[in-house]
Amino acid sequence: MSPLRELAHAKINLYLHVTGRRDDGYHLLDSLAVFAGAADELRLDCGYGRGGHVRLRIEGTFAPGLLDDSADNLIVRAGALLRAHVGTDVAARLPDVEIVLGKELPVASGIGGGSADAAAALRLLLKAWDLSVDRADLMVLATRLGADVPVCLDQLPARMEGIGEELTPAPGLPPCGMMLVNCGQSVSTPQVFRTRAPGFTPRADLPARWNTLADMVRDLSAQTNDLQDAACAICPEITAVLDSLRAAPGCRLARMSGSGATCFALFDSPEAARAAEPAVRQGKWWVWAGDLYRTGMRLDARADSLSA
Ligand SMILES: C[C@@](CO)(OP(=O)(O)O)[C@H](O)COP(=O)(O)OP(=O)(O)OC[C@H]1O[C@@H](n2ccc(N)nc2=O)[C@H](O)[C@@H]1O
Ligand SMILES: Nc1ncnc2c1ncn2[C@@H]1O[C@H](COP(=O)(O)OP(=O)(O)O)[C@@H](O)[C@H]1O
């Protein structure tokens, strides 16, 4: 049987406002997340053993940054959480699986690669194990894996609030192109949250849709990424990346995503983004250009979905 396959697309925060702080230290956010064509790939094969164990092998450009079979890997943790959720009796009957991760997204880089992998693993395992999990329960499991995991389940553009788990549809998006650049230094999300300047930014006022990129850029320019200054202080090369993106021909807006260090730029079209690549590419920088991922779908609406 051919392996089951899922793509785990990069999540980009077009803006990110820190709107408050919870008693447990987590920050309340207002952020607009979209997904880029850039993705990791997960392939799953069922083994002969039973018990629902997940073995993980990692290959691809960024495999050297991660360990095979580590219990800390979000894919392995997603498997363990799902197994615990269904209980010992059901878990005992689940086939063991091997997942091969093709790691093409830079690690710890503000584009939620690990979160996207965890969400893709949940989608794959629901299918491979023929499980039906209520959407609300699935969202709780996802949030336990990380604040960014819920939005990665459907890979649909979404406004993220709360700590990232309160999702509402994003404004309609215009055609555009995107470039992503990472300078090769990983930045710690907790450290960036810890060192950001104090104070909060109100939630943004967004329209129902943007008909043109110019409209979207006008509104996004009025928003901020409240983590950008802290990330630039920790990793000054982010400033060089932003300068380079802003100077690229056809760049309409450049900003950091999430807690960094990856930055994105918006262009009129995927072709315009790809044409600008040579002007930006330098040294060890990871550069990707293309379209947004526009065919994400609610998990419970997917024809191949077995979740309720
Ligand atoms: C900042 C964002 C924006 O989308 O993206 P990334 O930079 O990770 O891509 C996310 O909120 C990151 O989500 P995720 O990477 O899943 O974070 P988690 O594992 O849940 O949390 C890592 C740590 O970041 C801090 N954290 C995270 C989310 C949040 N809303 N408030 C926080 O203070 C906490 O210190 C937490 O212990
Ligand atoms: N499958 C995975 N891919 C990437 N990182 C992972 C994975 N599993 C666990 N991690 C850990 O999760 C942390 C966050 O990684 P990632 O999601 O790539 O970055 P970010 O949260 O900045 O977007 C990293 O420190 C990494 O070691």
Domains and CATH numbers, the chain: 4-167 (3.30.230.10), 177-290 (3.30.70.890)
Taking alpha carbons only, the member of 293, 279, 207, 269 closest to residue 11 is 293
Q: Can 11 be counted among the known catalytic residues?
A: yes
**pLDDT reported for residue 305:** 57
Assigned token pair, 97: 């699986």
| Ligand 1 contacts CB of residue 195 (under 6 A) | no
The pLDDT, as a whole number, for residue 191 is 97
Closest to 187 (Cα-Cα) out of 258, 285, 102, 245: 258
Q: How far is the CA of 118 from the centre of ligand 2 (A)?
A: 9
Encode burial over 158-175: b for 16+ CB neighbours within 10 A, e otherwise.
Answer: bbbbbbbbebeebbebbe
The pTM of the full predicted model, rounded to 2 decimals, is 0.97
Structure confidence at residue 300 (pLDDT):
86
Task: With a cut of 50, list the residues of the chain below it in pLDDT.
Answer: 306-308
pLDDT of residue 308: 31
Predicted confidence at residue 307, as pLDDT, reads 39
- Number of neighbours of residue 194 by Cβ within 10 angstroms: 10
Instruction: Name the 3-class secondary structure at 102.
Output: strand
Sign, CA torsion 264/68/116/38 = positive
How far, in Å, is the centroid of ligand 2 from the Cα of 78? 13
For residue 146, give the ligand 2 atom closest to its CA.
21
Q: For residue 233, say whether it is annotated as part of any ligand binding site.
A: no
Question: Is position 148 annotated as part of the catalytic site?
Answer: yes
Q: Is the dihedral of CA 145, 150, 156, 162 positive or negative?
A: negative
What angle do helix axes 135-145 and 74-86 make, rounded to 10 degrees? 140
What pLDDT was estimated at residue 306? Answer: 47
Q: How far is the CA of 72 from the centre of ligand 2 (A)?
A: 10
308 is in an annotated binding site: no
**Is any ligand 1 atom within 6 A of the Cβ of residue 182?**
no
CA dihedral 86, 89, 92, 95 (to 10 degrees): -50
